[in-house]
Amino acid sequence: MKLFFSPDQMAHNPQKEISDGKLVDAVETPQRAQMVFEALKDVAGVTHADMQDFGRKPIEQVHDTGYIDFLHAFGDLWVEAGREGEGFPFVWPGRDFRTDKVPHHLDGKLGHYSFDAGTPLTGKTYGAAYASAQSALNGADALLRGDGAAFSLCRPPGHHAGKDYYGGYCFFNNAAIAAQYFRDQGAARVSIFDVDYHHGNGTQSIFYHRNDVQFLSVHADPLEEYPYFLGHADERGTGMGEGFNFNYPLPLGTEAPTFLHQIQQGLTEIDRYDPDYLVISLGVDFFEGDPISQFKLTHPDMTKVGALLRTNRPTLFVMEGGYAVGDLGRNVAAIIAGFLL
Ligand code: Q9C
Ligand code: ZN
């Protein structure tokens, strides 16, 4: 199994994030990727592979060009505005505000292109997010060339990012970019199974009106947990996409048996859909020791998660969340070891 990761992904190195009304130490750090990379290299059957640059085009197949340009220009705009440190939005369009005009002012742009104040944006973010998307594309390319599975160590993560907004530590939606790339290279159907603790709101939104990419997500109930405004079981897709979106919200405190059962349910739907490729948006923030999450899966449970995700379909793992830095490496390694068994 090839492992894709570029050191350029480390450049986004936020110091602080807004949480509980304070600036606190950022949890989505480059060290996360370092830990996962070191642990995965030691898993039998995993090899670090060289990366190609697929350019900006495949990112533009998912994201709005104005949004991409904004992330690219942000560092200069921030300095020109005489600001220091990391950028945070503080104003968003309320329910009946206009979103058809992009404000000229930086604070207006920040609100226009984001949905939370918990995601630090810096002059180094674009390069790292671009490299993270390239890791996803290299993984997709490996499967298109015949590999049965690949691991794209994407970081910064992607599943909260929509077509034209960032949030939840996510800027480019790596899983969506990979899925779209499969489609653009001739695949008829792709499934994305999101098994991060949080709902993959960005990925859901990108494909909500489409029947060529099926989206499924197991996550904490949005009535109780971030991202709060999407991820309910009655969100089934719209128009042509109706019946191609599946949410499995679970209560806080969920333990392995319930979690594994819902994954099994998702896999049954995937079988029914019969995709050419399966993308797993993998976050390990369902771990009991995660500092910002409230599911109760143990380290030994990780092997079971990996084993369950073993199907007869070409499978691309795309890294999402997981913030228990000390356990992150061994948890991801256990999932992949279980998958490769
Ligand atoms: N007080 C991913 O797992 N903020 N994103 C938490 C805690 C948002 C997580 C604030 C968590 C987003 C990719
Ligand atoms: Zn998460």
Q: Tokens 């807004």 label which residue? A: 18
At 322 the pLDDT is 98
Q: Is 204 left (phi over 0), alpha (psi -120 to 50) or beta?
A: alpha
Question: Which ligand 1 atom sits nearest the alpha carbon of residue 283?
Answer: 3
Question: Which ligand 1 atom sits nearest the alpha carbon of residue 285?
Answer: 3
At 211 the pLDDT is 98
Alpha-carbon gap, residue 160 to 227, rounded angstroms? 8
Q: Does residue 202 line the site of ligand 1, with CB under 6 A?
A: no
> What's the average model confidence in pLDDT over 288-314?
98
Q: Does residue 158 line the site of ligand 1, with CB under 6 A?
A: no
Alpha-carbon gap, residue 193 to 246, rounded angstroms? 9
pLDDT (tens digit, 9 = 90+) per residue, 119-130? 999 999 999 999
Alpha-carbon gap, residue 197 to 287, rounded angstroms? 9
At 241 the pLDDT is 98
Q: Which two tokens stand for residue 333?
A: 């390694």
pLDDT (tens digit, 9 = 90+) per residue, 204-234? 999 999 999 999 999 999 999 999 999 999 9
Residues in the chain: 341
Q: Does residue 294 line the site of ligand 1, with CB under 6 A?
A: no
Instruction: With cut-offs at 50, 70 and 90, classify the pLDDT of residue 91.
Output: very high
Q: Which two tokens stand for residue 232?
A: 């309910």
Q: Does residue 20 line the site of ligand 1, with CB under 6 A?
A: yes
Residue 130: closest CA among 47, 71, 200: 71
CATH number, span 2-51+128-340: 3.40.800.20
At 61 the pLDDT is 99
Which burial class, exposed, middle or buried, applies to 82 when counting CB atoms under 10 A from its CB (0-12, 13-18, 19+)? exposed
Query: Which residue, judged by its Cα, is nearest atom 1 of ligand 1?
Result: 19
Ligand 2 centroid – CA 4 distance (Å): 20
Residue 174: closest CA among 304, 27, 320: 320
Residue 153: closest CA among 6, 330, 334, 22: 6
Q: Does residue 266 line the site of ligand 1, with CB under 6 A?
A: no
At 238 the pLDDT is 98
At 194 the pLDDT is 99
pLDDT (tens digit, 9 = 90+) per residue, 72-81? 999 999 999 9
Q: Does residue 118 line the site of ligand 1, with CB under 6 A?
A: yes
At 121 the pLDDT is 98
Average pLDDT, the chain: 98
Residue 200: closest CA among 104, 313, 318, 287: 318
Instruction: With cut-offs at 50, 70 and 90, classify the pLDDT of residue 82.
Output: very high
At 122 the pLDDT is 98
Instruction: With cut-offs at 50, 70 and 90, classify the pLDDT of residue 10.
Output: very high
The residues annotated with a catalytic role in the active site are 160
Domain ranges of the chain: 2-51+128-340
Query: Which residue, judged by its Cα, is nearest atom 11 of ligand 1?
Result: 168
> What's the average model confidence in pLDDT over 228-247?
98
CA angle (126, 327, 313) in 5-degree steps: 70
DSSP lists the bridge partners of residue 19 as 22
For the chain, the C-alpha Rg in angstroms (whole number) is 18
Question: Looking at this protein, which amino acid is placed at residue 260?
Answer: L
At 228 the pLDDT is 98
At 273 the pLDDT is 98
Ligand 1 centroid – CA 201 distance (Å): 12
pLDDT (tens digit, 9 = 90+) per residue, 262-286? 999 999 999 999 999 999 999 999 9
Q: Using an 8 Å Cβ cutoff, are 285 and 198 in contact?
A: yes
Q: To test the ligand 1 pocket, which listed residue (160, 224, 252, 290) has its Cβ within 8 A of the most ligand atoms?
A: 160
- The ligand whose atoms approach the alpha carbon of 196 most closely is 2
Q: Does residue 321 line the site of ligand 1, with CB under 6 A?
A: yes
Q: What does DSSP assign to residue 10?
A: G
Query: Which residue, judged by its Cα, is nearest atom 8 of ligand 1?
Result: 168
Q: Tokens 């899925």 label which residue? A: 179
Residue 232: closest CA among 114, 167, 224: 224
